[in-house]
Amino acid sequence: MLTSKKVYMDHIAGKPVDPRAIEAMLPFIREFYGNPSSIHSFGHEPRKALEEARAKIVKLINAERAESIIFTSGATESNNMTVKGVAYRNMDKGKHVIASSIEHMSVINPCKYLKTKGFDVTFLPVDKYGLVDLDSLERELKEETVLVSIQYANGEIGTVQPVREISQIVHRKNAYLHVDATAANGQVPIDVQKDGIDLLTLSSNDMYGPKGVGALYIRSGVRIEPIIHGGGQERGLRSGTENVPSIVGFGKAAEIAVNEMQSESERLIRLRDKLIKGLLESIPYAFLNGHPTNRLPDNAAVRFNFIEGESILLSLDMMGVAASSGSACTAKTLEPSHVLLATGLKHEEAHGSVLFTLGRQNTEDEVDYVVQIMPDIVKRLRAMSPLTPKELLS
């Protein structure tokens, strides 16, 4: 580290837990350790807290009733439960599942798993902004289609999907619409009834709650079976003693999001646009990833030609700035992000991507700092790169 400055702009990777959520959790770690399923008095407080948290999730997404919310260990479990649980429960209707090609791996990989079990899976293409192609959706929907899974917004490129339009198309063919709202929850208002959503994945940490907890909204009447079997908690759909302290923190985070989302999102949009504009204007051959306007308030995804993402991240880290990248070299796999490739970027373009995700504690000064240091970082790496055109170096 060459500087004592610390700027955290990697909120997609992990968010700080809101102190108010931590406060709400503490009694359920220290004092109220009882099991919410117990009949005796030690179970009363945990049970009450569990149902209060559930009511806060109901309010966040305007669910029709409390029973529609199932607490899980997080978005990955909610997505797995949806893809496998809906597919296995509805085989009498058909064995076809559709997902967009830019879903999170916790949707993509369960879909690929289903393929090995004899299901038919279609991955929908997206345009250069990452918007799902609605004509292909219409074309690919069949009588046998049981589930369509499309995220509310993509965390890596920020693009927000036209969920209501998608819902109308899906419901014309009597399939269920699952929406993964992991990246979007707490940033944009979601109304499962107005949006026409049958199943919705929520993640606690993505709205400043603790990690390791999430939820799945399941509209009343949707046929789904559990993937975790046991003592029958959560209406038999998700066995295992409820993680009460984390669920309480999640509920508090949802309550805070309901109250503060609008003003905070407006603030983030101002910072986001300043950051994007600052980078694109001061650096040649710099481009925005994702949609220019239909995008998440926190998401500034940019790419720089002729250089590679991990080198940019290391250089930013040397200046105290934490960001992330869709580059192969930072991931466990060696392929560039499937999301960036699906938007039509060439491998070498995808490799030069950097993702800044803003959060509650980021300030305008921090945005100015990043805009100020980035041109020199890019210049230094381009001077090193054999791909940089000569005229750019003089």
Active site residues: 329
Q: Does 5 bind another protein (CB under 8 A)?
A: no
Q: Does 318 bind another protein (CB under 8 A)?
A: yes
Min dist. Cβ of residue 14 to another protein (A): 17
Residue in the structure block whose two tokens are 């590679």: 308
Distance CA 68, CA 60 (A): 13
Q: Does 280 bind another protein (CB under 8 A)?
A: no
Q: Does 387 bind another protein (CB under 8 A)?
A: yes
Min dist. Cβ of residue 387 to another protein (A): 5
Q: Does 303 bind another protein (CB under 8 A)?
A: no
Q: Which is nearer to another protein, 135 or 348 (CB)?
A: 348
Q: Does 307 bind another protein (CB under 8 A)?
A: yes
The 3-state DSSP class for residue 88 equals helix
Which residue in the set 327, 337, 343, 353 belongs to the binding site for another protein (CB under 8 A)? Answer: 327
> What tokens does 324 get?
């992330």
The answer to whether the CB of 243 falls within 8 A of the CB of 73 is yes
Q: Which of 263, 265, 351, 256 is nearest to 307 (CA)?
A: 351
Stretch that binds another protein, among 38-46, 192-200, 240-248, 323-331 (CB under 8 A): 323-331
Residue 373 backbone dihedrals phi, psi, to 5 degrees: -85, -20
Distance CA 252, CA 224 (A): 28
Please calculate the CA angle 18-23-29 and round it to the nearest 5 degrees: 115
Q: Which is nearer to another protein, 105 or 383 (CB)?
A: 383
Distance CA 153, CA 250 (A): 20
DSSP structure string for 268-303: HHHHHHHHHHHHHHHSTTEEE-S-SSSB-TTEEEEE
Residue in the structure block whose two tokens are 């934490």: 322
Q: Does 13 bind another protein (CB under 8 A)?
A: no
Which residue in the set 135, 329, 361, 376 belongs to the binding site for another protein (CB under 8 A)? Answer: 329
Q: Which is nearer to another protein, 97 or 328 (CB)?
A: 328
Which residue in the set 97, 308, 323, 324 belongs to the binding site for another protein (CB under 8 A)? Answer: 308
Q: Does 328 bind another protein (CB under 8 A)?
A: yes
Q: Which is nearer to another protein, 159 or 325 (CB)?
A: 325
The 3-state DSSP class for residue 307 equals coil
What angle in degrees, to the nearest 10, is found between the helix axes of 364-384 and 244-282? 60
Min dist. Cβ of residue 284 to another protein (A): 17
**Judging by DSSP bridges, how do beta strands 353-357 and 299-304 pair with one another?**
antiparallel
Q: Which residues between 157 and 176 bind another protein (CB under 8 A)?
A: none
Q: Does 66 bind another protein (CB under 8 A)?
A: no
Residue 169 backbone dihedrals phi, psi, to 5 degrees: -65, -45
Binding mask 344-383 for another protein (x = CB under 8 A): --xxx--x-------------------------------x
Residue 214 backbone dihedrals phi, psi, to 5 degrees: -165, -165
Q: Which is nearer to another protein, 2 or 39 (CB)?
A: 2
Q: Does 334 bind another protein (CB under 8 A)?
A: yes
Q: Does 384 bind another protein (CB under 8 A)?
A: yes
Interacting residue ranges for another protein, rule: CB under 8 A: 2, 306-311, 314, 318, 327-330, 332, 334, 336, 346-348, 351, 383-387
